[in-house]
Amino acid sequence: MITSLRRMLTCHWSARRIQRYLDHDPSALLAPGEVRRLEEHLAICEKCTQLAAEHQALNRALARWPGQQQPDPASLARLHEAVDRLVNQEDE
């Protein structure tokens, strides 16, 4: 039972750090000891390894997502005209 509880706590600890580990975000880096602990856990835990794989798949899908699209120039011009009309009505 103690082994199961220890594994559950380690999985919980790991799940909270997997995304930071995969992102390598300089503003949220894991300490070297945390990286080593997480990698050791991922080497033996199928559940957390699957979670890491899901995060990686999501990151790959998001990387393929098209960049921010520019608004339609005609729509933007109509929007500017409408705002200008509203501003001009308030000035009268």
Residue 70 is predicted with a pLDDT of 77
Q: What is the per-residue pLDDT across 18-54, written as a single tens digit (0 to 9) for each?
A: 989 998 888 889 999 999 999 999 999 999 999 999 9
66: DSSP letter: -
Q: What is the per-residue pLDDT across 49-72, written as a single tens digit (0 to 9) for each?
A: 999 999 999 988 888 887 767 788
45: DSSP letter: -
Q: What is the per-residue pLDDT across 1-15, written as a single tens digit (0 to 9) for each?
A: 777 788 889 999 999
- Report if pTM > 0.85: no
Q: Residue 56, by phi and psi: left (phi above 0), alpha (psi -120 to 50) or beta?
A: alpha
- What is the pLDDT confidence band of residue 91, given thresholds at 50, 70 and 90? low
Residue identified by tokens 């899908």 is 61
